[in-house]
Structure formats: C-alpha cells, structure tokens
Amino acid sequence: MPLPALAIPGKPKPYLLAHRGNRARCPENTLAAFRQALADGADALETDLHLTADGVFVCIHDATVDRTTDGRGPVAAMTLAELRRLSASCGRPEFQDERVPTLAELAELLPADVALALELKTDRFLEPAVCRRLVEELAAGGVLARTVALSFSLARVQAVQAAAPDLPIGWITLSRAWPIAGVQLLGPLWPLLLINPLYPWLAHRRGQLVAPLDPWPNRRLWLYRLLRCDAVLSDDPASTLAALGRKGDASAASA
C-alpha cells in the first residue's frame, strides 16, 4: 500500500525530506535546523532518534554527543537534564544556545501539512515497551498519522510497526540493488539506482515509495525525476527546492 505519511495533499512529487533539518545553514537536528527547513518549504522533516538514560526520545544522530555538542560521552548514559547542559551548536558560536531537542519538542513544532521521518538509531527500538512508548508519544503529539519510521535495521522498524500496524516503515540500504518486500518506503544509496535503474519501477509495482539516500541531490534531480522517485533527501532544503522549481532560496541553489 502507498505510504500514508508521504501522501501529502497539495505537494508535488518528488517530496522534499529535510535531512536532520537544514544542516547546511544550522547545526543538525536542532530546533533551529528544523525551523529553517520549515521556512524553506520542506514537505517532511527527517531526524534521528536515541534514548537518554531516563528514557526520553531525543533527536541526535550519533550514539555519543562528542561530534555535535561541547560534551563527551554516550547519549544513553546521560539523563535529559545532563544532555540539556550541553550546547548542540556543532562548534558554531552563533548557535551556542541550541540544545539537543526532544521528540516531543519536534512534534510540537511540526505544522499539520508536514510529515515526520524518524530514523531509529539504537537497538532499544527492538524492545516492545520502548516501541509502545514511542507510538504513544507520537499519538499524544498529534503526529502519528504523519510519521514514518526508518532504519538500516529492518528488525527495528518491524518492531515499531508491531506496536502500531498502521505506521508505515522504511528500510535504508547501502548495498542491496533490489527492493525488498514488507516495507512501505525504500531508501537505497543513490548509486544503486545506477546499478539497477528499474528499482523504482519494481518498488512501485508493490505500492512502495522510493527516496534515494543522497543528502546532496541537486546534481542528480534529473535522474530521480526520470526514474519517478517519490521523494528526495536534502541537507539544504532551500537549494534543492529551488532546483526543483519550487519555493526555496534561488541564491542558495546557485551557490
């Protein structure tokens, strides 16, 4: 069946998924990056999920805080209060006050016509209780019907879908040039589409959507349009939307 979370009324395909927000202009996975992506006109926000030591869902890509904050150590070993003491500026002084946001904060920010793509970054999402809590939080935030769960781990997204059978799931791959069954969204690394240009056609026959893994897609938009890909990922939504001829920053597209 088609992916409900990306069937966005009034938005043309390919949909634009803002990769970690707008990480070209702001520190990744921060409220600043998400707000910028929304201002750019993104159709969906993509983020990464970890859990703190006290079980809070937080938006951060790495298993540690070392790269994106001014702290050190595993996310899973820190409480939310400890995480909040760190700047998530990615070393950019003008964003010193940014913090690692919670999923609840992101859900509160999300407009009604924008979807949410959550990449599950830890095996904690194999735990049924954690999956149930995630589904409950998404429902409480009013975003469950607009959310898709993603992972390189098929087992993680299947575990979440077991807790919410109507929640669409997506599988990301770096190596398989043939679409698998059992998921609603496929995210192949973009060169795999050169190896197998029939990939989107085969996926579409099963009602699956295709969003190539390509954070800087502008030079290959012609290919994704030719192959009828359903969505594109972008680190700089403004430039990609401008390249698609949609709302965006034309100056950024030419940079």
C-alpha–C-alpha distance, residues 181 and 72, integer Å = 40
Is 19 one of the annotated active-site residues of the chain? yes
Is 50 one of the annotated active-site residues of the chain? no
DSSP 136: H
| Cβ neighbours of 60 (radius 10 Å) | 25
The residues near 198 (Cβ < 8 Å, ≥ 6 apart) are: none
Active-site annotation holder among 5, 13, 19, 234: 19
DSSP 74: B
How many Å from the N-terminal Cα to the C-terminal Cα in the chain? Answer: 39
The phi-psi region of residue 207 (left if phi > 0; otherwise alpha if psi is between -120 and 50; otherwise beta) is left
C-alpha–C-alpha distance, residues 238 and 248, integer Å = 4
Count Cβ atoms within 10 A of the Cβ of residue 116 and give its class: 0-12 exposed, 13-18 middle, 19 or more buried.
buried
Measure CA 194 to chain center: 23
The residues near 127 (Cβ < 8 Å, ≥ 6 apart) are: 159
What is residue 44's three-state secondary structure?
strand
Active-site annotation holder among 11, 61, 84, 176: 61
Residues annotated as part of the active site: 19, 61
